[in-house]
Amino acid sequence: MIRTMRRRIAILTGGGDCPGLNAVIRAATKAGVHLGYDVIGIKRGFEGLASPFQAIELNIENTANILDQGGTILGSTNKGRFSAKVGVNEARAVPQELMDDVRKNVEDNQLDGVICIGGDGSLSIALQMHQMGVPVVGVPKTIDNDIAATAFTFGFDSAVACAANALDRLHTTAASHERVMVLEVMGRHTGWIAVHAGLAGGGDVILIPEIPWEIENVCEKITQRKAMGRPFTLIVVAEGAQLPDGGQMTLAPVSEHQQIRLGGIGQWVADQIQERLNTETRCVVLGHLQRGGAPTYFDRCLSTQFGAHAVRLIEEGRFGEMVCFEPPNISSVPIAQAVQRLSTVDPSSSIIQAARALNISFGDTPHFQNPFPNSQVQAATRVEKFNRS
């Protein structure tokens, strides 16, 4: 095939949809066109990169009004032939013959670079492509904020805004009817959404995968609030929070073609509270509401920077790298450093300490504990030094 004069890059979106995907597509397209690239969009994620090759032209005109649109104009899929994560977070390599087909299509279509926008599973596929010689760069995407090597992923702030808004609404009805309201949010392996939304929305109990909890401690917190004249309680629980016995609530049997579907922990918590305390309890599951709708302004800004800097990586020939957010700058790291090791909430982190200082319960203890134990030691040391002087 005769090489065309103009350079060419492709953009694809893999995995679940997420606010900010279109903003990345728009930014990468504008930056690519500005630098002299022809830009194409791959339809239906990695499926469109295999045969039959499915692509559309992207330009300034057809990406002009998508900055604030949710979803992805290119379509996506998180199951099928390119499922890198199946069952209970089981990693699976894409078959060699399928990856050979992808590499051939990249060569036949004279692509100088492929921008892969996705989460841990999609970026694992991108890493496999890079190892086979495909010129790929990554953009981290997930509302769960669980990708390592970046402070934040786009979509996370939008999901937190949705969950915090739900807590604002639940607060008034909980107070009016003296109810316990349980809000189940996304968070397959991590509690980032639950913690940030719980803090921003005034939650009283937050249950996350990183901190083991007991339902007795949750009930004790509700009882304490009633004794203090607060006859209602707001509880936020991540869908991946393990049951006290170590199990997880699922919506469907384990499949060899896609990851396990989690859900139902919120209703389990609500049922246990109502049975044990004989208090009116309701459960609300946000589900895919967190994935949909327009991205927040923070996510639009982050997505736009990610898209522009992904093109920069291609321009500089830095394939096999992923753009990342290292406040206040956008940087990059090898994709290999970002995948297959999740970013989880540290139980001793400052945000958990702040929540505990506000008397928010994580279900791991029935009573309030000083979240700053080191401060007590330091204070005692200062007093001792003062007395000696």
Catalytic positions are 144
Determine contact, residues 41/56, Cβ cutoff 8 Å. yes
Amino acid at residue number 89: N
For residue 136, the SS3 value is strand
Determine contact, residues 260/230, Cβ cutoff 8 Å. no
End-to-end CA separation in angstroms for the chain: 85
The CA-atom distances, in angstroms, between 104 and each of 53, 322, 356 are 10, 23, 55
Determine contact, residues 348/342, Cβ cutoff 8 Å. no
Instruction: Give the DSSP per-residue string, 35-63.
Output: TTEEEEEETTGGGGGSSSP-EEEE-TTTT
Determine contact, residues 221/233, Cβ cutoff 8 Å. yes
The CA-atom distances, in angstroms, between 99 and each of 9, 82, 85, 90, 317 are 18, 9, 16, 19, 21
Rounded Cα–Cα distance for residues 343 and 347 (Å): 12
Determine contact, residues 75/45, Cβ cutoff 8 Å. yes
Q: For residue 280, with 0-12 CB atoms within 10 Å meaning exposed, 13-18 middle and 19 or more buried, which class applies? A: middle
Q: Are strands 7-13 and 113-118 parallel, antiparallel or unpaired?
A: parallel
Q: For residue 171, with 0-12 CB atoms within 10 Å meaning exposed, 13-18 middle and 19 or more buried, which class applies? A: middle
